[in-house]
Chain A
Amino acid sequence: MSKILVIAEHLDGKLNSSTARAVTAAAAVKPETIDVLVLADSVDAIAAEAARIEGVSRVLTIARAENAHPLAAVLAPQIAKAAAGYSHVFAPSTTFGKDVLPRVAALLGVAQVSDVMSVEGSHSFKRPIYAGNAIITVEADAGSPVVATIRTASWAAAPSGASNAPVEALTINVALPSHTRFVELQSGNSDRPDLQSARKVVSGGRGVGSKENFDIIFKFADKIGAAVGASRAAVDAGYVPSDLQVGQTGKIIAPELYMAIGISGAIQHLTGIKDAGTIVAINKDGEAPIFEIADFGLVGDLFKIIPELESALG
């Protein structure tokens, strides 16, 4: 039987919702146990959140000052040790999981399955290659632990609230390197919903025209309670910071509603939104590729249409 260790992602003492998505993927393996591992300097609040996720058997914690920031070189040796006895180690395929998990896999001497979209069996998974233009089924070695990152857009978050899994502190005796140090995090903090977990996302592209013009996107998003995203073109043009980029090289998201405004729809952008529930495209070019995948398309000038949308909303 499978025993799965899910690595928790967190920031500022709060659990990231990508963790509950990785738990859903873990449950699809139909394992005997799903344990969540929290590595932090102060673990209590994060562990309490993780304990409430349905399907979690135990929450294991490693509280060390060195774990204050998610440095892969520091976390990986602890995770590799904690992984003993587990058949699977999962982490969300976010920048956190992508950074740390291959380091864990190499320490364990095994291959890693990146961006798991579906679980076909305990050692068989589907994942995208070529920017999502092909989906492959891969089989991992049955005799070694499976190390995998979970494509968060493909999995709903496991519900939270009803459970109360026990929390246990782990003592891991492993020397930690001091060759890597955290300096600072410059975050684009805002009161808007988080792009990766938002139910609604409004994205702007090059068609928005300037950094100042992007205010119209922010205002409209606020009006409908949506997160704001952007195409690579808009980020490269300096309209918005790069943490808003949606696409193959940015964030891959799956909101219920995605509104692409002034975005032509390059393959690298479409890769990031293919799993969205309903896609709306607003573009003045009726031939733009975005209309090929949009559920609702509207051809016209965004500076005219957005105020009309706002007034139609009342």
Chain B
Amino acid sequence: MKILVGYKRVVDYNVRIQVKPDGSGVVTDGVKLSANPFDDIALEEALRLREKGVAEEVVVVGIGPADLTAHLRNGLAMGANRAIHVVTGDAVQPLAAARVFQKLIEKEQPGLVILGKQAIDDDANQTGQMLAALWDRPQATFASKVEIADGKATVTREVDAGLEVIETELPAVITTDLRLNEPRFIKLPDIMKAKSKPIDTIEFASLGVEAGAPLKTTHYAAPAKRSKGVMVKDAAELVAALKQKGLL
């Protein structure tokens, strides 16, 4: 079986984002970029499935500008067999990204697609679900445990009510939650090896993907600040203050 893994590059999760004063966007010049943390988890899970003999090949897929190649090399260094780079200078929203994956699926015929549950830049949490709909295949979102046997996936999902277990036929789309695994670190020799692994480059325009009517972002703002609070000296003062506000 072949596994396709979505591998998005985002602003590093440690960066404290600044909104431009004129509301036209967030400051991204010179800001550190990294793999979306949920996508590292997706890749790790695919690699583990290959190590268990469930999959033979793991392919990382990135959509973005020409310099995305360096990011895809990280995925190859982590252990992916090869990479597909869909080249576009434009921002791609979830529906268009799902349509790109749909096109790649027609060609690659994977047994499984693993994506992160959300990207930490747009926080949309949509692409996996949209892809499953377009592909007309099962989806198992927010996965914290995946078992594959007899052509079926048994997936434990992190839902508000607790842990839900579902069973899906394959092929399917799985999206990863934080607790699925701990991604491995990249070792230096693997970085060298990754240099000789293939990266297929496909022009976005050549896929014939309809962008549809994307959402237009008209304004960016910093979140409202909470006003400065007060320090109390002991438990009695705290209880008195909360009682006065009618909270206790």
Q: Which residues of A contact B (CB under 8 A)?
A: 11, 71-73, 76, 94-96, 98-107, 109-115, 124, 128-141, 143-144, 177, 179-189, 196, 200, 224, 232, 236, 241-243, 248-249, 251, 256-257, 267, 274, 277-280, 291, 293-300, 305, 308-309, 311-313
Contact = CB atoms under 8 A, between A and B. Distances in A.
A248 to B, nearest CB: 8
B219 A105 contact: no
Given A106-B130, A182-B164, A278-B242, A130 B26 contact: yes
A153 B121 CA distance: 20
Contacts of A124: 218
A231 to B, nearest CB: 13
A149 to B, nearest CB: 8
Contact of B125 (A102, A130, A185, A299): A102
17 contacts: A72-B132, A94-B160, A95-B142, A102-B127, A102-B128, A103-B130, A106-B95, A106-B129, A110-B212, A129-B122, A135-B221, A180-B169, A181-B166, A232-B178, A243-B160, A249-B178, A298-B238
B247 A256 contact: yes
Contact of B16 (A71, A107, A129, A133): A133
Contacts of A11: 161
A133 B120 CA distance: 11
Contact of A105 (B126, B167, B248): B126
Interface string B206-248: 0000001111111111110010011111111011111001011
Kindly state the interface size class of chain B when it binds its partner: 35 or more
Contact of B238 (A72, A267, A291, A296): A296
Interface string B130-168: 111110111111101000000000100111111111111
B94 interface: yes
B25 to A, nearest CB: 9
Interface in B174-218: 177-179, 212-218
A296 B242 contact: yes
A114 B160 contact: no
Nearest to A189: B162
Nearest to A93: B125
Contacts of A297: 229-232
A280 B232 CA distance: 10
B166 A295 contact: no
A99 B142 contact: yes
A11 B160 CA distance: 11
Given A102-B125, A136-B220, A242 B213 contact: no
A181 B144 CA distance: 17
B162 A243 contact: yes
Contacts of A129: 26, 121-123
Contacts of A200: 247
A69 B141 CA distance: 15
Contact of A180 (B17, B26, B130, B168): B168
Given A243-B158, A294-B229, A312 B163 contact: no
A279 B154 CA distance: 40
A267 B12 CA distance: 13
Contacts of B134: 106
B120 A111 contact: no
Nearest to A125: B215
A241 B94 contact: no
A76, A105, A132: most-surrounded residue (chain B CB, <10 A): A105
Given A112-B126, A129-B122, A280-B238, A242 B247 contact: no
B17 A133 contact: yes
Contacts of B138: 73, 177, 179-180
B231 A298 contact: yes
B19 interface: yes
B1 interface: no
A309 B26 contact: no
Given A137-B220, A242-B158, 8 more contacts: A72-B139, A102-B128, A131-B123, A135-B222, A181-B167, A241-B163, A243-B160, A256-B247
A123 to B, nearest CB: 10
Contacts of A94: 160
B93 A111 contact: yes
Interface in B12-40: 16-17, 19, 26
B133 to A, nearest CB: 4
Contact of B219 (A137, A183, A251): A137
